[in-house]
Amino acid sequence: MTSPSSGDREKVVSKLPGPLQQELKIRTAQRGIDIQHAVDEGISAWRGLGSNLAAIDTTGAKSFSTWLPPGQWDGFRSDCAARGVSLVQGLAQSVSLWLETHPAPGVQRPVVVKRMIVCNQKGGVGKTAVTAGAGQALAEDPDRLHAVGVSKHFAHARAGADETAAEESAHEQLPGLGLRVLLVDFDPQGHLTKQLGHELLPLDGDSLTKHMAGDSKGKLKDLVVSVDDERFGDRLHLLPSCTDAFLLDVKLSGVRAREAALERALMPLEENYDVILIDCPPSLGLSMDAAVYYGRRRDGEAPGNSGVLVVVQAEDSSADAYGLLTAQISDLRADMHLELDYLGIVVNHYDARRGFIATSSLESWMAIRDPRVVGLIGDLKEQKEAVRMKQPLLAYAPRCTQAVALRALAREIV
């Protein structure tokens, strides 16, 4: 049946098998086109065929509606009758034809591995949660749809609107990014390792610290573990921490070209990944120098492909810590002649109900244009619950407001 037109199209209502509807929804999202245009193209191609396609099982077909050019549905109905197939069968064949001729695009992989240094020497701002969440969002299944968006508060704040209360996220359904991601727990406290349900590496075994200090006992890749969940496939891995990292600055003091120690250690792993995220300790020592050096722009690398992601909170002490961090980065840039990019600022643990301090602080962060704020993550219970359960947040609560915002963040920095 048809309904009154909307613009230059008319609404049509029919039926289509549920799995076919879902595949159509995913594929059009992957290719960045509207469902109505895909169905339009499929029907046109089907009508141009010299013979019918193989019959499709339409048992249990569900209601399906879309918008088509005026007259196309009537012509399609006539063709179905002439070919001796039902309208539902003809539509199913048309959609299947479009899917076959428009395969899913491959994952867009970076030319140079993206190296993201997640840092702030102030503890408790949520660097680990942002590292883990962004990594999960980057690795999600590209053949499934996931809720993606930014909070209304973030959108209004970026536009300069005056908000007084946190709002729920507005989102859309988009395919996962499907990137191969390595999370590196560079903090001797090991929060990233523990939150994802793994054990710290034993003190008497091999570790990232030993590889950086030149005391390794084997290959670093043998220490890497998988973060298992069907939504990540085998794309999300973790290099666990070891408490020997508390001695890293001491060990690095005697290492040749110590600023390049982290790069030397991780270089053999890079060919296996699209993105490497470093969860840094709350420190401004030699280990931080090595992390920042690792995130520098390499020869031939595009600006913004790698760099520093600063996690802050909407309160005054974060602003003080941010000043110390950016001063250190400026010194490293000058002393070592580094091309080092900021990927942005993430305001974490935000809750407007905390009043003027939170809202005014957020406005101050938003006023910074270089680097700009690229994410606003709410302070909600799901993150704490996921940590308690030792599960990835995006697996534990994939549709929660924090998960939606972390997917938006991933798209901002990728």
Residue 167: what pLDDT? 42
Report which DSSP code applies to 207: -
Residue 370: what pLDDT? 87
Whether residues 253 and 331 share a domain: the answer is: yes
Residue-wise pLDDT tens digits, 167-201: 444 788 999 999 999 999 999 999 999 999 999 99
What's the whole-number mean pLDDT along residues 274-291? 91
Backbone angles phi, psi at 347, to 5 degrees: -90, 110
Write the CB contacts of 209 (distance below 8 Å, at least 6 apart in sequence): 242, 244, 245, 247, 248, 251
What's the whole-number mean pLDDT along residues 343-355? 89
Residue 67: what pLDDT? 95
Residue 154: what pLDDT? 55
With 90 as the cut, is the pLDDT of residue 317 above it?
no
Residue 158: what pLDDT? 47
CATH number at residue 230: 3.40.50.300
Whether residues 95 and 193 share a domain: the answer is: no
**What's the domain range around 324?**
114-413
What's the whole-number mean pLDDT along residues 390-407? 95
With 80 as the cut, is the pLDDT of residue 235 above it?
yes
Residue 155: what pLDDT? 53
159-164 long-range contacts, CB within 8 A, separation 24+:
160/366, 163/352, 163/359, 164/352, 164/359
What's the whole-number mean pLDDT along residues 271-294? 92
Residue 187: what pLDDT? 93
Whether residues 60 and 131 share a domain: the answer is: no
Residue 38: what pLDDT? 97
> Which amino acid is located at 86 in the chain?
S
Residue 168: what pLDDT? 44
**What percent of the chain shows pLDDT beyond 90?**
69
Residue-wise pLDDT tens digits, 44-80: 999 999 888 999 999 999 999 999 999 999 999 999 9
Whether residues 87 and 155 share a domain: the answer is: no
Whether residues 366 and 331 share a domain: the answer is: yes
Which helix (H) or strand (E) element contains residue 14? strand 9-16
Residue 109 lies in a domain: no
Q: Which value, in Å, is the radius of gyration of the alpha carbons in the chain?
A: 25
Whether residues 181 and 313 share a domain: the answer is: yes
Residue-wise pLDDT tens digits, 129-182: 999 999 999 999 999 999 998 655 455 444 443 443 334 447 889 999 999 999
Residue-wise pLDDT tens digits, 195-232: 999 999 999 999 999 999 989 889 999 999 999 999 99
The domain total for the chain is 2
Whether residues 138 and 279 share a domain: the answer is: yes
pTM confidence score: 0.88
47-50 long-range contacts, CB within 8 A, separation 24+:
47/75, 47/76, 47/79, 49/97
What is the chain's length?
A: 414
With 80 as the cut, is the pLDDT of residue 5 above it?
no
Residue-wise pLDDT tens digits, 76-115: 999 999 999 999 999 999 999 999 999 999 898 999 999 9
With 50 as the cut, is the pLDDT of residue 320 above it?
yes
With 80 as the cut, is the pLDDT of residue 7 above it?
no
The residue among 396, 327, 318, 406 whose CA lies nearest residue 358 is 318
* Distance separating alpha carbons of residues 267 and 277, to the nearest angstrom: 14
With 80 as the cut, is the pLDDT of residue 6 above it?
no
Whether residues 245 and 333 share a domain: the answer is: yes
* Distance separating alpha carbons of residues 53 and 90, to the nearest angstrom: 9
Residue 160: what pLDDT? 43
Residue 278 lies in a domain: yes
371 preceded by a cis bond (ω within 30 of 0): yes
| 8 Å CB contact between 273 and 182 | yes
With 60 as the cut, is the pLDDT of residue 241 above it?
yes
Residue 108 lies in a domain: no
Mean pLDDT, rounded, of the chain: 90
Confidence of residue 257 (pLDDT cuts 50, 70, 90): confident
Residue 106 lies in a domain: no
Domain stops at, among 47, 70, 101: 101
* Distance separating alpha carbons of residues 192 and 194, to the nearest angstrom: 6
Confidence of residue 299 (pLDDT cuts 50, 70, 90): very high
Write the CB contacts of 74 (distance below 8 Å, at least 6 apart in sequence): 2
What's the whole-number mean pLDDT along residues 244-255? 86
Residue 202: what pLDDT? 94
